[in-house]
Structure 1
């Protein structure tokens, strides 16, 4: 899971960004090790239908829709012939749906179309990037539906893959995403994706500014993941409980999951 790819990202995105040079080195490693990048839709379809996967399948995903994905990542992906999935928050993209609030320079819709034409999947990531599990039902429905409609209007077909902002979801959020027509969705979790996670809660590994090539190699080879993400996973579990209680108190009901 990537976010911004930039030499000098905004302060708000710095920790979750990678340099263009680091991204290129990481893609070289995938190519050298014989990995085959797929789109999220391709992976989920293969698992759903119990179809065959290529040797060493891997997902390369980008969240939010930062401009550096087009400027820096796309040429590298094209060089290797790699597929990817770019999950866009439509209210952050430059264009008619821009409602402000973006953390850095974002893609515009012409760039999104170029990324799609190069073989990458465009997925949904909500409209304004809120914590979906904290929203009332009507707000949650708007965030998912408006994102879907904006992508369909710009690209000519609706997205089929979704990534939860911040990785947060509950059964209620997943039901809403499924009802909007999405066939699969991604969380974070900082673990390898497994079929048993189900198509609406597939996990990913975070690539950060501090992720060196040795750590990246461990991640893609599936080694020492628990060690590398121990602190993140502990914080995530604790914060999930806090969010659930907060939402229950607001709604006057038991927490959903």
Structure 2
């Protein structure tokens, strides 16, 4: 029950992503190659809800568990990722920012072409877990309490209304969270939440701070194989982790100043 589990964090899957999402995008061919590698090496994809439930109740996980997660709600997840996942029989989790999706509830500000609710429903029908990723994709640790509650709860209410089932998993926009954010997400009704961290997930991290590893456009197949096996993850992401720790200090200071001024 204390095994480390790789949680892969994807964003856009696209041939020609918008500049704002380019670095965190993955080409469709590269994504297909990565999924095939998981299958060849005997990994068993599970959802965020499945992992959370297993660790919460002490249930066994399948052999070589891995999570395939997508943030934001880019249209390419339906166009390019779904056929690959369906062919391989892989589970996945999609975290949507409800105010970015096309159609009802749209508030603008999305960085690229996003899913519409019909596509989200098709993904859900195909077995993809739909989780929350806030409503307008803010830096949640910088919000006051009222806005923080709104972003977590409104997102969950919209997904429940559109899909008929309330989401149980959440992912923090930009990966930013603190105790206050985690408490708000829990109070909104989510059972587990994912950060970034660029490390393998472990039960001891707790259900509201599970770490993920970032898959980028620059992630070659050898690097992808290493991160799924947990090899050299600390070294490959050393710069990211150092920047994250340094920026966390800055963010805590900014948040404290904002809260004092409100």
Structure 2 match to 1:43: 51
Structure 2 match to 1:233: 241
Whether 1:154 and 2:162 are equivalent positions in the alignment is yes
Whether 1:24 and 2:32 are equivalent positions in the alignment is yes
Secondary structure at 2:95's aligned position in 1? strand
Secondary structure at 2:112's aligned position in 1? coil
Structure 1 residue 252 displacement after superposition: 2.0
| Unaligned segments of structure 1, at least 5 residues | none
Structure 1 match to 2:193: 185
| Unaligned segments of structure 2, at least 5 residues | 1-8
Whether 1:4 and 2:15 are equivalent positions in the alignment is no
Secondary structure at 1:153's aligned position in 2? helix
Identify which of structures 1 and 2 has the higher relative contact order when contacts are C-alpha pairs closer than 8 Å and 6+ apart.
Answer: 2
Secondary structure at 1:205's aligned position in 2? strand
Equivalent residue for 1:54, pick from 46, 51, 62: 62
Secondary structure at 1:42's aligned position in 2? helix
Equivalent residue for 2:147, pick from 139, 149, 152: 139
Secondary structure at 1:252's aligned position in 2? helix
Structure 1 residue 157 displacement after superposition: 1.2
Q: How far apart, in 1, do the equivalents of 2:90 and 2:40 lie? A: 13
Comparing 84-93 with 241-250, greater Cα deviation is found at 241-250
Query: Residues 1-257 of structure 1 correspond to what in structure 2 (within 5 A)?
Result: 1-252=9-260
Structure 1 residue 228 displacement after superposition: 0.6
Q: How far apart, in 2, do the equivalents of 1:121 and 1:21 lie? A: 23
Q: How far apart, in 2, do the equivalents of 1:82 and 1:243 lie? A: 37
Q: How far apart, in 2, do the equivalents of 1:171 and 1:244 lie? A: 11
Q: TM-score, normalised by structure 1?
A: 0.98
Structure 1 residue 158 displacement after superposition: 0.8
Q: Deviations over 1:46-72 (max 9, x none)?
A: 011111110000000000000000000
Q: How far apart, in 1, do the equivalents of 2:53 and 2:258 lie? A: 37
Structure 1 residue 146 displacement after superposition: 0.9
RMSD over aligned Cα, in angstroms? Answer: 0.7
Secondary structure at 1:130's aligned position in 2? coil
Secondary structure at 2:50's aligned position in 1? helix
Q: TM-score, normalised by structure 2?
A: 0.96
Structure 1 residue 96 displacement after superposition: 1.1
